[in-house]
Structures are given as structure tokens and as C-alpha cells.
């Protein structure tokens, strides 16, 4: 048993508590990882406020990287001392979705989130919020939840590969399938949105429009690849159509998860355009379309889970882009913080400030 500090969600809607927890030694098929860094994602906020449901009390955090400390029996693909990226949605390889090759839709991916993995110092049982419980100095996870970190990438940067980059890059390359010369609009300049902007640049998009409520994020967006910047308003879709010759962009990527931004993303695309929704919204966010406009505009609206990515296959591709200088992980990070600062990072996300906050251990 090892005692470490962690950010615990005691109940849905309650503030996070930074406290000590007790981790068991890894059992068969498990790995204990000492975290180097963990990104603070909007999904963590969605878990804390109940938009997404997981058993509680739980240790949140699902985007991280670190060093293997110990492995249980039967683990062969990593060894103590190895750098790893946490994979919060491991595929089982046996379900219907996996059989179709759609591993990002695996029906068993979050099974581990319902299994007690640690205890508070007072003995209270704890669950791993999205399988990996990265908001802690160390964690114990199923072996399927760790992937070898790319060579030459600092582990603090590699943490971002576990969610923001796989999601943003995948949304552009796998879901929207942006082609060279197309025009793209990205709604929401947070960690995922910044990754999507870089991915659109890598894809060879001719025009990349970034959209956010904050004027202060323009410099951040342009550094990631945006050629135009629009401050969100009631006329956002109209503004984007004006920037794209009056007809709209080929592709819109929505990284916010609100009805108003999904609708604006749809309206900002040309006739026959494609809208990919990455943002996670609540059940109360109802988006309405009438039958005539669906016929007339011929647009495609699609959801996107985890960037429609296969982490095992995509991490080497992303590593190649990093080594080539095309993908800048450090540019996604606007705040490097400690475990105690996570509640403040949640507040910044709610206020629409900054890109990715990164907990550095």
C-alpha cells in the first residue's frame, strides 16, 4: 500500500478535495504509474457537475502521462521505468463496435470506472473517474490503460496526447476528414480546439477560422494555425460565411457542447458541408432543425467520440508530427499548475479563460 495526494470528488456537485489516498500494489494485469503531468479537461468539469455520470466518490483526471513504478502478474508490454501515456478508454476487442473496427465506441471502455481502485485515508472506497484517476501523484490502472510514450517527447507534454490531442487531431482527420485546400472553422479555443486548429493546419486547410467568446484568445489561436478569428456573437455564422466567400466553410468542428454553438457551426458551413461535434453537452442542450433545411442544405452533422481515434495506432502518427515540428504540444498549455490549483482551473474553464491547464507533479 502506498499513500499519495489526489483530487477527490466526494459527491456530484461538491468541490474537489485535495487529500491523501491509499493505493494498493498492482494486482494481476495492473500497472502502477507515477504521474509526470495531467491535463485539466472540460470532461473533468462535466463529471464534477453531473453532466456525465460516474460512481462517486472518485478521483478525476483522465489525460496524463508518467513512469511505470510497478506491474502486476501477466503484464508484458511495459516494465518499471518505462514512460507511458494513459488511455482512459481502452477497447476490449470483443464487442460489436470493436468488431467493426470502431474501437472508440467500445461498449466496455468505461467498465473500470465502476470498480473500486483505492481508498481514502479513513477507509472510504474510491472509484477512478474515467478509468485512470490521473489527478493524483500515482495511480493503479488496468494494463490496457497504458501505452508506451513516444520517444523524445517529454512526459509532461506527452500527457496531452491522452485526450486533447487525440480528440482534436482525430476530429479533423478521422471524423471530418479535412482535405488539402478545404476551409475549416473551429468553435472553442480550449485544449481540444487548439489541437484541432493545429490538425487543420497539418491537413493543409486553406483557411482556418477560430471562434471563441474571448477576444484574448486570438493570439493563441493564430499561433496554433488560425488564419481568421471571430469573437462569438449572435452573428457568428454570418460572419464566417462572409469570411469564406459568402457560401460558408467546408468543415466546422464544434468543441464546446452547447446547442447555440452546434447550431452556429452547422449554419457556418456551405451547402453540402460537414459539421463534427466534439463538445460534450448536457441533456438540456436541445438542437432543433426543420426537415426542409436538412434537405435543402445537404449538410452532414456527426458526433465524435475521443476523436474517433485508435490510440495505439494514432500515437505513433502524432509522434511523427511532433518530431517533424508540425505539432507543438507545449503551445496548447497556457497554465502549468499544481494539484491544489485544479479547482481554480475549473473556474477558468467555466469563465472561458485560457487553453489547457496542466498539472505538473
Answer yes or no: is 311 within a domain.
no
* Domain-embedded: residue 248: yes
Domain count of the fold of the chain: 2
Do 220 and 102 share a domain, yes or no?
no
Beta bridge partners of 37: 65, 360
pLDDT per residue of the chain (361 residues) written in tens, 0 to 9: 899 999 999 999 899 999 999 999 999 999 999 999 999 998 898 888 888 888 999 999 999 999 999 999 999 999 999 999 999 999 999 999 999 999 999 999 999 999 999 999 899 999 999 999 999 999 999 999 999 999 989 999 999 999 999 999 999 999 999 999 999 999 999 999 999 999 999 999 999 999 999 999 999 999 999 999 999 999 999 999 999 999 999 999 999 999 999 999 999 999 999 999 999 988 899 999 999 999 999 999 999 999 999 999 999 999 999 999 999 999 999 999 999 999 999 998 888 888 899 999 9
pTM of the model: 0.94
| Residue 310 maps to a domain | no
Per residue in 183-241, pLDDT (tens digit) is 999 999 999 999 999 999 999 999 999 999 999 999 999 999 999 999 999 999 999 99
Q: Looking at the structure, tell me whether residues 157 and 173 fall in a common domain.
A: no
Residues 156 and 178 in one domain: no
Q: What is the pLDDT of residues 311-326, one digit of tens each?
A: 999 999 999 999 999 9
In a domain, 321, yes or no: no
Statement to judge: residues 39 and 104 lie in one domain: yes
Full residue range of the structural domain in which residue 294 is found: 168-305
Any idea what the CATH number is for the domain that residue 112 is in? Answer: 3.90.180.10
Q: Let me know if residue 125 belongs to a domain.
A: yes
Could you tell me if residue 148 is inside a domain?
A: yes
Assess whether 175 and 158 both reside in one domain: no
Angle (CA) 112-310-34 rounded to 5° is 50
| CATH code for the domain of 188 | 3.40.50.720
Give the containing element (helix H, strand E) for 48. helix 42-49
* Residue 60, C-beta contacts closer than 8 angstroms, at least 6 positions apart: 7, 9, 16, 44, 47, 48, 129, 130, 133, 134, 135
158 with 184, same domain: the answer is: no
Question: What local confidence, expressed as pLDDT, does residue 353 receive?
Answer: 83
Would strands 83-86 and 63-71 be described as parallel, antiparallel, or unpaired? antiparallel
Closest Cα to residue 105, out of 308, 343, 357, 312? Answer: 308
Q: Is residue 353 a part of any domain in this protein?
A: yes
Check whether residue 266 and residue 176 sit in a common domain. Answer: yes
Residue 143 is assigned to a structural domain of this protein:
yes
One domain, residues 38 and 111: yes
207 and 157 housed in the same domain? no
Which stretches of 244-299 are assigned E, i.e. beta strand? 249-254, 269-277
Amino acid at each position: 500500500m502506498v499513500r499519495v495526494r489526489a483530487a477527490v470528488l466526494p459527491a456530484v456537485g461538491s468541490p474537489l478535495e485535495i487529500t491523501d489516498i491509499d493505493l494498493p500494489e498492482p494486482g494481476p494485469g495492473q500497472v502502477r504509474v507515477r504521474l509526470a503531468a495531467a491535463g485539466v479537461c472540460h470532461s473533468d468539469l462535466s463529471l464534477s457537475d453531473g453532466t456525465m455520470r460516474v460512481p462517486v466518490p472518485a478521483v478525476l483526471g483522465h489525460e496524463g502521462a508518467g513512469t511505470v513504478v510497478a506491474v502486476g502478474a501477466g503484464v508484458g508490454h511495459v516494465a518499471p521505468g518505462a514512460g507511458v501515456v494513459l488511455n482512459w478508454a481502452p477497447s476490449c476487442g470483443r464487442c460489436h463496435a470493436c468488431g467493426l473496427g470502431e474501437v472508440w465506441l467500445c461498449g466496455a471502455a468505461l467498465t473500470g470506472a465502476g470498480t473500486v481502485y483505492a481508498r481514502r485515508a479513513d477507509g472510504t472506497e474510491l472509484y477512478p473517474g474515467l478509468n485512470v484517476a490521473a489527478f493524483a501523484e500515482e495511480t493503479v490502472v488496468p494494463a490496457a490503460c497504458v501505452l508506451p510514450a513516444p520517444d523524445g517527447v517529454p512526459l509532461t507534454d506527452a500527457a496531452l496526447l491522452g485526450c486533447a490531442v487525440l480528440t482534436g487531431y482525430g476530429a479533423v482527420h478521422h471524423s471530418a476528414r479535412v482535405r488539402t485546400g478545404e476551409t475549416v472553422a473551429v468553435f472553442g479555443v480550449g485544449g481540444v480546439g487548439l489541437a484541432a486548429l493545429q490538425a487543420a493546419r497539418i491537413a493543409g486547410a486553406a483557411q482556418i477560422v477560430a471562434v471563441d467568446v474571448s477576444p484574448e484568445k486570438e493570439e493563441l489561436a493564430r499561433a496554433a494555425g488560425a488564419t481568421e478569428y471571430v469573437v462569438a456573437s449572435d452573428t457568428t455564422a454570418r460572419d464566417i460565411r462572409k469570411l469564406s466567400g459568402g457560401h460558408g466553410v467546408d468543415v466546422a468542428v464544434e468543441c464546446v457542447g452547447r446547442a447555440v454553438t452546434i447550431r452556429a457551426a452547422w449554419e457556418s458551413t456551405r451547402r453540402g458541408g460537414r459539421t463534427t461535434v466534439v463538445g460534450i453537452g448536457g441533456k438540456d442542450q436541445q438542437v432543433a432543425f426543420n426537415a426542409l433545411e436538412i434537405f435543402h442544405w445537404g449538410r452532414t452533422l456527426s458526433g465524435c467520440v475521443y476523436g474517433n481515434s485508435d490510440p495505439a495506432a494514432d500515437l505513433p502518427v502524432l509522434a511523427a508530427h511532433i518530431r517533424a515540428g508540425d505539432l507543438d504540444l507545449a503551445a496548447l498549455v497556457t497554465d502549468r499548475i499544481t494539484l491544489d490549483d485544479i479547482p481554480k482551473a475549473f473556474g477558468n474553464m467555466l469563465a472561458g479563460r485560457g487553453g489547457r491547464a496542466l498539472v505538473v507533479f
